Amino acid sequence: MTNEPIFEVKEEEKKGNYARFVISPLEQGYGDTLGNSLRRVLLMSLPGAAIVSVKIQGVKHQFSTLKGMKEDVVEFLLNLKKVRFKVSSENPTKASISASGPGDIKASDIKTDAEIVVANPDLFLASLSKGTKLEAKLEIEVGTGYMPSEERIKEEIGLIPLDATIDPKEALLSSAKILVGYFNQLVSPKKVEKKEELKKDELGVTGKLSVEEIGLPTRVANALVKAGYESVEDLVSAKRDELVKVRNLGEKSVKIIEAALGEKGLVLPN
């Protein structure tokens, strides 16, 4: 039996949402093994909550400026991407900022509902001069993996999509824990209990719920409706592979759909 691996994880560089970690010393071949495994989990499986779109009153696009705000809109958006949230629900939620100068705007100025709390309220967002007002509407989503802003559908003029990210060190540790969970299942397997798929006539009131009513992100719900999947009944009648191929969806979106159905005790057929 081989000895237990002993190595160090050093954070050699950190800039905002970027960090560089070095893991050493490792036996030959294990750098690629660990690196590739962590990379896949980092990109596909990490849960988190982030601001995914912003609409600022009087601003039509991210390259604009807001009179009386020291920072340009791009700087303001970059600061918003650093806001961290603690959530008790997987449903998307709305938030807002309403502030007047003179003074600084901080993350604590973000108004949210009871299911989501700003974890770093002292984070600086922008500085306003006297007489300046900032009105912004934010959309916060809970999901898995990293989703670039390019994948988000702009549904109205002035709606600015943002990348969704989490803290680098938190991401690394969470990825490692997910991998440990999978390997533990290999070493000490637990019995897998399969959920029974329900027939249409067994869905009752739940089956009549629209896709908008089960907490799906707006872009996902819209894509489903356009493809003809308007209710829960439609979803559980569709095969997973069919939904993955729907325009503007894909694997990540289907995972979100599965999570929403899971809260109702339902599963997608394979």
Task: Please report which helix (H) or strand (E) contains residue 205, including its range.
Answer: helix 205-208
> What tokens appear for 183 in the block?
């390997």
> What tokens appear for 251 in the block?
């694997």
Specify whether 23 is located in the same domain as 92.
no
Specify whether 229 is located in the same domain as 183.
no
pLDDT at 103 over 60: yes
Specify whether 98 is located in the same domain as 205.
no
pLDDT at 150 over 50: no
pLDDT at 16 over 70: no
Does residue 267 sit within a domain?
no
pTM higher than 0.85 for the full model?
no
Region for 13 from its dihedrals, namely left if φ exceeds 0, alpha if ψ lies in -120 to 50, beta otherwise: beta
Does residue 74 sit within a domain?
yes
Q: What is the mean pLDDT of residues 102-120?
A: 86
Specify whether 183 is located in the same domain as 212.
no
Specify whether 134 is located in the same domain as 232.
no
Burial class (CB in 10 A: 0-12, 13-18, 19+), 21: middle
Does residue 194 sit within a domain?
no
Specify whether 71 is located in the same domain as 159.
yes
Question: Tens digit of pLDDT for each residue in 213-250?
Answer: 888 888 888 888 888 888 888 888 888 888 888 888 88
Single out the residue in 153, 187, 221 at which a domain terminates: 187
Q: What percent of the chain has a predicted confidence (pLDDT) above 90? A: 6
CATH of the domain at 246: 1.10.150.20
Specify whether 151 is located in the same domain as 53.
yes
CATH of the domain at 147: 2.170.120.12
**Average pLDDT of the residues of the chain:** 78
Q: What is the mean pLDDT of residues 174-194?
A: 79
Question: Tens digit of pLDDT for each residue in 194-209?
Answer: 544 445 556 667 777 8
Does residue 86 sit within a domain?
yes
Does residue 89 sit within a domain?
yes
Please report the pLDDT score of residue 104 as a whole number. 93
Question: Tens digit of pLDDT for each residue in 114-141?
Answer: 778 888 888 898 999 998 898 989 888 7
Specify whether 236 is located in the same domain as 258.
yes
Does residue 2 sit within a domain?
no
Number of domains making up the chain: 3
Question: Tens digit of pLDDT for each residue in 28-56?
Answer: 888 888 888 888 777 666 666 778 888 88
Judged by average pLDDT, the poorest of 88-92, 163-167, 182-186, 196-200 is 196-200
Does residue 270 sit within a domain?
no
Specify whether 230 is located in the same domain as 152.
no
Identity of the residue numbered 116? I
Specify whether 117 is located in the same domain as 207.
no
If we measure between CA atoms, which residue out of 7, 138, 8 comes closest to residue 77?
138
pLDDT band for 102, please (50, 70, 90 cuts).
very high
Does residue 213 sit within a domain?
yes
Please report the pLDDT score of residue 26 as a whole number. 86
- CA–CA gap between residue 241 and residue 262 (Å, rounded): 17
Specify whether 174 is located in the same domain as 83.
no
The alpha carbon of 256 is separated from its chain's Cα centroid by a whole number of angstroms, namely: 10
The residue range of the domain holding 16 is 8-46+169-187
Q: Bigger pLDDT: 105 or 65?
A: 105
Specify whether 52 is located in the same domain as 157.
yes
